[in-house]
């Protein structure tokens, strides 16, 4: 009996687990209560009821299923929360998803509210992209999707922008707070006017502006695409690495963030956010002003375009307030046109607000772009931009230039219209700069040349001095061991000369190197307190032992003299015979006869051991 109960209980659990884990759809005959979940096919996302933070209200939302920290990416009833666990999701008789609460018997809390012809087939499915879709026919054409109604998060594959055919504008709006997903004050939208741009709005006021289209592409984990045609204007992103969980969110403080989930740390890591730097707020330096994020060397981040000056010098220089912007240096020149004016290049900037800019052509050379702007006196600036697959485009500005920021990595070059006087002043400054640059170059070359000559002469003098010291040192060694004659040019074969002792030879260093194979480790016989001994073979076939005296051994002139003279004078059967020496270089070398029958100490040790053994035997 117990076994039967256990079996039935286990079967129910297995069936429940199989049903809940595989259920990613709701049909017209099904409901989803508080406590139930839809799980996408690959277990990437879950749909169900939740309470954010410390809130006691219940909301229907979608969150990451594989992420330990519950992270909600979409909320259905964000402005109409449910009290208690009375929420239920279903598909009504009109084929719409509806969310009801037992506390509200009449109107639904939330609905998809799609008005199309109803059919017998209707299903809602949670996809592995995090998109909840509603399908009303077996051809599986989607009539509604949560991606068209973002909350505060941009998901990979989600479109941000305008559908011109339907009038739908997709844009995320932040939560009111961390505990309240209701509609907040900040939104992220695309302004389709001019060259489309992404803005963060606070109500209807610009807070931050992204780069205008076209965007430069860089090797990154985030791949951003942009579409702008007569039907749609939108931006979308994808992740190049499918194993990475990435989201873009606009938080309740108006901060746009890009975050990656780190499973090891169990948290979201932020790798980009805006507005962040002093130059991020829209129009920080006013009209015709340029903001530089790397401004520390100038003490103020704002500057004016060429041909312009601060409108209020006091606010600009003393109060460090550039909101008033810049004006032309010569106000009378604003009406001048065709009187020698020209364009000055401002390199590597985030282009000014392009809402009032005009794309003249998507295929125009830089020269033709300049001519087009020059012909129109209202054209204040132009930019020639390389567009992938569309050659070079021409973008022109009319009126004020606003929200320009230096950007060396992603910036474009813009050419600003200035009058003839400004052109002459800039040319004069440039010529003066070139002259100073030439003078500086001459000065640098002169100083470098002088130092080179000094260093060269110093090197040659030190080298000559070192040779004199070495020659003097060598002579001292020769004099010490009694050498009476030394002539390096009279060397024959391997022996350079002979010393006063008739049986002592003086060898060339090259001869020693050849005999020992350049002091090869394979020829090493042993090592003592004053150096290393190597086996060698002279060109005449004679085997020798070469003692290489180390510079750090502590053996000086006296020790070397004593060793050479003492061994040269003494002759004994148990004393190794000194053949000669070499004093070229900084390491003196002694050349002995080679003893093939091991070393003397081994021989003496073996004899003493045998004698003790015999004595022990006698006793």
Q: Which residues are annotated as a binding site?
A: 547
Cβ–Cβ < 8 Å for 309, 329: yes
Please give the Cα distance from 241 to 399 (Å, whole number): 43
Residue 227 Cα distances to 190, 213, 366, angstroms: 12, 9, 24
167, 234, 360 from 164: Cα distances, Å = 5, 10, 22
Residue pair 592/579 in contact by the 8 Å Cβ criterion: yes
Helix ranges restricted to H, 176-302: none
Contact 97, 91 (CB under 8 A): yes
Backbone torsion region of residue 509, taken as left when φ is above 0, otherwise alpha when ψ lies between -120 and 50, otherwise beta? alpha
Radius of gyration, CA atoms only, the chain:
45
Cα angle vertex 344, ends 441, 329, to 5°? 105
Question: How does 91-101 read in b/e, with b if 16+ C-beta sit within 10 Å?
Answer: beeebbbbbbb
Residue 395's DSSP bridge partners are 359, 383
Q: Which residues contact 566 (CB under 8 A, 6 or more apart)?
A: none
**What is the distance between the alpha carbons of residues 325 and 304, in angstroms, rounded to a whole number?**
8
How big is the CA angle at 401 (ends 398 and 403), to the nearest 5 degrees? Answer: 145
3-state secondary structure 493-510: CCEEEECCCCCCEEECHH
Tokens standing for residue 43? 């277990």
As annotated, the binding site for ATP includes 547
Token pair recorded at residue 312: 């209020």
Residue with tokens 């394979």: 522
Whether the CB-CB separation of 45 and 130 falls below 8 Å is answered with yes
Q: Which of 488, 487, 305 is nearest to 401 (CA)?
A: 305
CA distances 453 to 93, 443, 448, 456, 464, Å, are 97, 15, 9, 5, 16
Q: Is 287 exposed, middle or buried (0-12, 13-18, 19+ CB in 10 A)?
A: buried
Rounded Cα gap, residues 467 and 457, in angstroms: 15
H or E element in which residue 554 lies:
none
**Is there a contact between 168 and 149 (Cβ–Cβ < 8 Å)?**
no
């Amino acid at each position: 009996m117990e076994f039967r109960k256990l079996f039935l209980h286990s079967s129910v659990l297995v069936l429940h687990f199989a049903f809940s884990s595989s259920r990613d759809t709701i049909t017209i005959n099904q409901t989803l209560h508080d406590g139930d979940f839809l799980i996408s096919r690959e277990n990437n996302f879950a749909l169900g009821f939740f309470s954010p933070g410390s809130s006691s209200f219940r909301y229907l939302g979608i969150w990451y299923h594989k992420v330990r920290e519950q992270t909600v990416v979409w909320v259905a009833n964000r402005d109409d929360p449910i009290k208690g666990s009375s929420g239920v999701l279903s598909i009504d008789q009109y084929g719409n998803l509806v969310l009801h609460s037992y506390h509200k018997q009449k109107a639904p809390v939330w609905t998809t509210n799609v008005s199309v012809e109803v059919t017998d087939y209707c299903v809602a499915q949670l996809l592995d992209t995090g998109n909840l879709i509603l399908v009303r026919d077996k051809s599986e054409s989607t009539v509604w999707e949560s991606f068209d109604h973002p909350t505060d998060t941009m998901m990979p594959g989600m479109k941000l922008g305008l559908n011109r055919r339907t009038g739908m504008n997709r844009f995320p709006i932040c939560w009111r707070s961390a505990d309240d997903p209701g509609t907040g004050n900040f939104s992220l939208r695309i302004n389709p006017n001019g060259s489309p741009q992404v803005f963060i709005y606070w109500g209807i006021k610009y807070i931050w502006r992204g780069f205008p289209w076209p965007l430069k592409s860089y090797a990154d984990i985030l791949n951003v695409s942009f579409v702008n045609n007569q039907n749609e204007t939108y931006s979308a992103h994808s992740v190049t690495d499918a194993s990475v969980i990435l989201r873009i969110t606009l938080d309740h403080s108006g901060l746009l963030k890009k975050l990656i989930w780190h499973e090891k740390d169990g948290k979201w890591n932020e790798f980009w956010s805006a507005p962040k730097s002093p130059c991020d707020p829209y129009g920080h330096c006013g009209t015709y002003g340029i903001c530089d994020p790397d401004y520390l060397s100038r003490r103020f981040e704002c500057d004016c375009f060429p041909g312009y000056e601060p409108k209020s010098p006091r606010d600009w220089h003393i109060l460090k307030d550039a909101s008033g912007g810049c004006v032309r240096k010569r106000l009378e020149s604003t009406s001048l046109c065709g009187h020698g004016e020209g364009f000055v290049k401002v390199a590597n900037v985030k282009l000014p607000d392009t809402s009032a800019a005009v794309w003249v052509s998507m295929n125009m050379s830089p020269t033709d772009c300049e001519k087009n702007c020059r012909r129109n006196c209202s054209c204040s600036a132009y930019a020639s931009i390389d567009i992938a697959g569309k050659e070079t485009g021409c973008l022109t500005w009319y009126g004020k230039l606003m929200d320009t920021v230096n950007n060396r990595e992603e910036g474009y070059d813009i050419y600003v219209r200035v009058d003839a006087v400004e052109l002459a002043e800039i040319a004069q400054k440039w010529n003066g700069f070139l002259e100073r640059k030439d003078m500086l170059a001459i000065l640098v070359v002169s100083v470098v040349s002088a130092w080179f000559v000094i260093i060269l002469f110093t090197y040659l003098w030190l080298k000559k001095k070192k040779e004199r010291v070495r020659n003097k040192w060598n002579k001292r060694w020769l004099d010490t061991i009694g050498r009476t004659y030394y002539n390096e040019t009279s060397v024959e074969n391997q022996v350079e000369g002979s010393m006063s002792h008739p049986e002592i030879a003086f060898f060339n260093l090259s001869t020693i190197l050849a005999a020992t194979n350049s002091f090869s480790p394979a020829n090493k016989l042993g090592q003592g307190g004053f150096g290393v001994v190597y086996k060698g073979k002279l060109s005449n076939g004679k085997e020798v032992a070469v003692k290489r005296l180390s510079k750090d051994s502590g053996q000086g002139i006296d020790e070397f003299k004593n060793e050479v003279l003492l061994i040269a004078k003494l002759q004994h059967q148990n004393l190794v015979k000194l053949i000669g020496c070499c004093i070229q270089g900084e390491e003196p070398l002694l050349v002995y006869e080679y003893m093939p029958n091991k070393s003397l100490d081994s021989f003496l040790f073996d004899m003493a051991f045998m004698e003790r053994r015999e004595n022990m035997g006698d006793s």
